[in-house]
Structures are given as structure tokens and as C-alpha cells.
Amino acid sequence: MTSDHTRQRAKHGPAAWLDAVVYDLARQMRWTFLPPLMVYFAAGFSGLTGIVGTFFVKEYLDLSAAYLAGLAFWAGLPWALKMPLGHLVDIIWRWKWLLVYLGAGLIGLSMIIMYFVLTEREMMEAIMPISAWYITSFLLTPCGLVIQDAVADAMSVEAVPRVDTQGAPIPEEQSRAMHVTMQTLGRFALITGTVVVAALNIWMFRGIEAMDAAAKANVYATIYLVALSIPLVSVSGVILAGVQKYRAKHNLRKTGLSPAEADALFERPDEDTTPNPWYFIGGGAFVILTLAVGLGQVPYSQEIIFAGSMAIVLFLMRQLVATLSAAQARALIGTATIIFMFRAVPRPGDGITWFNIDVLGFDQQFLSVLSLITSVLTLVGIVVLRPLMAEKPIVWIIAMLTIAGGVLTLPNIGLYYGIQDITAPLTGGVVDARFIAILDTAIESPLGQVAMIPMLAWIARNAPSNLKATFFAVMASFTNLALSASSLTTKYLNQIYTVTREVRDPATGEVTVPADYSELGVLLIVVTAITVGIPLLVIWLVQNSRLRTSD
């Protein structure tokens, strides 16, 4: 009796919670999950050059916050090309690994460009301006990442086995659980890459505040050189997947299956994808529109490209929705709309980062510490919230994240007004400011990643088997266009509320642009109001319409 009572209490105690949250995730891990996790890890590791890029722009280039927000818009658009790429992956299923090599080449080229910009500046400047090289490198990386990500999504579906070691089909419920675990681990691997990045940055930026310009440039160059390992990791994942597939087929043949029968269990011969030309027409239209408007220097080019891209994505989404039942289609549209608005809200922009550097004295190493804290807390958030994501509807999760997103801007507002002495000081110095910055990070870190996991799991469970990669790609393109919308609205707000950092002439040391943070506080307040108000309004509208979702 006592033993039974003890076991019953254990089911509801800390041990049971730890088992459900941590140990269960580890138990569901499969070796076949590792290859796509390596590609996702490489994507997270690609952030290695993020802090270097921020300081490179600040110290070497005279680019405004509004211009950088616009550049972020262009960098986000390659993700819209995930539509034809995802469909291409479904079509060339056996040869999808070739695309990983292509993406790795683009990422490697991006890192090599910045390495030579820092080590052979005169040679590179003789070819074209340094700002042009930086922009080229800045845009090459997302192009490579989106190619690899399209393949990683397909690999994440393939990594979940359809049969056991004896060739018998895996039960539906077990298969669904593994798909959810795979998507959770995918986000986990992505953030783990950022943890490694932050730790490396902390180590490499040690003592940088005492270095002269030449020594800093050498540190920056070394980081870009280390970043060449990013494409190596993703390529290694593809090679490992090939080895695992060969061994699995070999073991199945030992059970008595013929080579053709063993091969059929992996290569989906019964689920061949019929090419839909509209996905490639849409992708081609996107490229033509981008080049025509961008190179033609058409006024409002970013807005035109965003509107055209949205029209193309919505058209292709309609093609996908036609393959679902009416109930599934309505749920998918409602869910996608809510997630889009959650991600489309504006951010403060680079002005808050400049303020933290110039006024609060945050250096490269402390920003690396913040990045490490962000990554670790995101990992914790994903693991801790995983059972909640399995139990609660997506709408409930987004509503809670929206409120948290509004709360996360409050520490920044407090920092600004405290330092500026406009209200009663909230900080007594840089130490307090750093504590508040860490608190801000603790609130913000898990939001974006947690919001996407339920949708990815829904696609993995419900999308037609021969269109998995296409579904991942089109829905990712739609939700990533929200980030382009966020960049646009961020640019607009930075044009209304102007924030400038101090810029000095490198030769004379004369101040060419004075620092002005007088409008930063109002900018932060406006961003907070929009961040909370718009998504909650959209949630209410969707949940009171035919698109209401309870998944």
C-alpha cells in the first residue's frame, strides 16, 4: 500500500515533471535524427559573425539605422525562394543532398569575402567599395542558408523512420510523437549552434577593449576564418545521412528483403511528386520582380517587392490548401495568419544596440555574454515548454508569447529613461544596466523559436507525404515574409523617430555625424504598443471567424 502510494505521488512530483520534460525528450532521440540536426546546428552556428558585423558597420561603414533595416529586408527575401526550392527537393528526393553543397559554397564565399576585406582591404577596395563587399557578403549568407534549410526540413521528415528494424510499419501515434520530437530537436540544435557561437565570441573578444584598431581587425578576421567551419558541419550531416541510409538498407536486406524492397522503404517510389510548374513560375516571377525593381532603382522598391512576393506566396499557398480537407485548410490559414502577425511587428532597430554600446558601455565581450544567455535560456524554454506546446492550442501559445513580447521591451524603456534622467533614475550605473539587459534577454529569448514549433509539427503530421518539403517551404516563406514586413515597419519607425550614432572621420577623427538618442524612448514605447496590440487584435478576429483554430 505504501509502495503504491509512493509511486502515485512520484507521478505528480518533481521527478515526474523532470521525466516528462527532459528524460522523455532524450528517450525519443534517434540516431537518424542527427544528420538534419547537424544542418540545423550549422544554421545556428552561422550567427558567429553577427556581433563582428555589428561592430564592423559601426567602426568602418557610415550606414544609418534606417538603411540597415532596409538591408535586413533584402536579406530576408531569399527565404521566399524556399517555395520552389522545397518543391524541387520533393521532386529530386534522391539527389537533394547536392543542394546542401551548393548552399555551403555560398556561405563559404560570404565568409571568405569578409576575411579578405579585413586582411587585404586595399586589394578589395580597388575592385569595389568596402560597403559593397559587406553588402554582398551580407546577402550571400542567407542565400546559402535558405538552400540548406529547405533540404534540412526534408531530411527531418526522412529522419523519422516509417518502419522498424524488421521492416514492419511504425504505429501512427508513435510516428506522430517522433515527428514532434524531431521538430523540437531541430529548434534545439539551431539554438545550440548559437550557444557555441556565444561561447566562442566571449573567448575571442577577451581583452578587445584595450586593443588598437589593427588588433581588433585581426580578431574580426579570425572569427570570419573560423566561420568557414559552418559549411563543413552541414556537409558532414549530409555525408552521415548517406552512411546511415546505406547501413539501414543493408540491415533490412539481412531480414530477407530484396534490394528493391529495402530501397522502396526509403526512397518513396509509391509517393512520387508530380512537378507543379506554378511553384517554379512563382519563384521565377519573384526573381524577375526583385531584379527589375531593385536594379532599376524604382521608388518604393522594397514595398513593391514585398507586395509582389506576398501575392506570389499567397497564390502558391492556395495550391497547397487545395490538397487538404476543408477543416484542415481553414485551420492552417487561421494559424498561419496569427503567426504572421506575431512575427510582422516592428522592432526598435539598431538604435537600441548603439545606445547600449555608446551610453551604457556594452562592449563586444558583454554582448557575447548576452548572446550566450539568450541562447541558453531559449534552449531551456524550448525544453520546458515542450509539454505545454503538446497540450495547448497554437493560438493560446501565441497570445501568451505576444504579451511576453510586450513585457520584454519594458526593461529597455526603463534603461533609456533611467540613463537619460528624464524620469527618476532606474539604474545606478553600468552594473545595474547590465542586470536589466540580462533580465530583458531572459524574457525575450524563447519567443520566436517556441512560436514556430507547433506549426512545424502540424505540417509534419498533416501534410501529404509526397509534398512534405513543399509544405514546409511555402509555409516558411509565408511566415518569413513576416520578418520582411517587420523590417519594413522597423524602417518606417526609424525614419519617423530618428536615432543616430556618433560617426568620426577615420583619418582626422572629426565627428561627421553626432550621436542623437533623444527620440529613442518614444520609439521604444510605440514599438511596445504595436507589438502587443496588433497580434492580440488579429487573434481575436481569427478566433471569431470561420478560420478559428483549436489545434
pLDDT at residue 73 is higher than 80: no
Q: Kindly state the greatest CA–CA separation across the chain.
A: 85
Whole-number pLDDT of residue 423 = 36
Q: Are 183 and 36 in contact (CB under 8 A)?
A: no
Give, in order, the Cα–Cα distances in Å from 284 to each of 136, 288, 433: 21, 6, 49
For residue range 242-259, list pLDDT tens digits in order: 888 778 777 777 777 777
Task: Tell me the pLDDT band of 421, cut-offs 50, 70 and 90.
Answer: very low
What is the rounded (10 degree) CA torsion for 307, 309, 310, 313?
Answer: 160
H helices then E strands: how many in the chain?
24, 2
Query: What's the pLDDT band for 296 if we cut at 50, 70, 90?
Result: low
pLDDT at 123 over 80: yes
Question: Residue range 226-239: average pLDDT?
Answer: 88
pLDDT score, position 53: 75
- Classified as helix, coil or strand, 170 is coil
C-beta of residue 421 within 8 angstroms of C-beta of residue 463? no
**Residues 41-68: tens digit of each pLDDT:** 988 888 777 767 777 776 777 666 667 7
> 116: exposed, middle or buried (C-beta count within 10 Å: 0-12, 13-18, 19+)?
middle
pTM over 0.75: no
Contacts of 447 (CB under 8 A, 6+ apart): 401, 404, 405, 408
Q: Can you tell me the distance from the alpha carbon of 134 to that of 328, in angstroms, rounded to the nearest whole number?
A: 44
| pLDDT given at position 266 | 61
pLDDT tens figures, 128-157:
888 888 888 888 888 898 888 888 888 887
Q: What is the mean pLDDT of residues 497-508?
A: 77
Q: What's the grid cell of residue 405? A: 513580447
- Cβ atoms < 10 Å from Cβ of 492: 14
Q: What is the mean pLDDT of residues 333-338?
A: 85
Average pLDDT of span 531-548: 89
Other CB atoms within 10 Å distance of the CB of residue 494? 25
pLDDT bin (cut points 50, 70, 90) of residue 80 is low
| Average pLDDT, rounded, for the chain | 77
pLDDT, position 253: 74
CA dihedral for 226, 227, 232, 237, sign (positive or negative)? positive
- 428, pLDDT greater than 50: no
15-24 per-position pLDDT tens digit:
776 776 667 7
Under a CB-based contact definition with an 8 Å cutoff, are residues 449 and 304 in contact? no
* Nine cell digits for residue 269: 517510389
3-class DSSP string for 13-63: CHHHHHHHHHHHHHHCCCHHHHHHHHHHHHHHHHHHHHHHHHHHHHHHCCC
Neighbours of 537 (CB within 10 A): 11
Tell me what the mean pLDDT of segment 397-402 comes to: 80
Question: SS3 of 500, please?
Answer: strand
> Is residue 354 within 8 Å of residue 58, measured between CB atoms?
yes
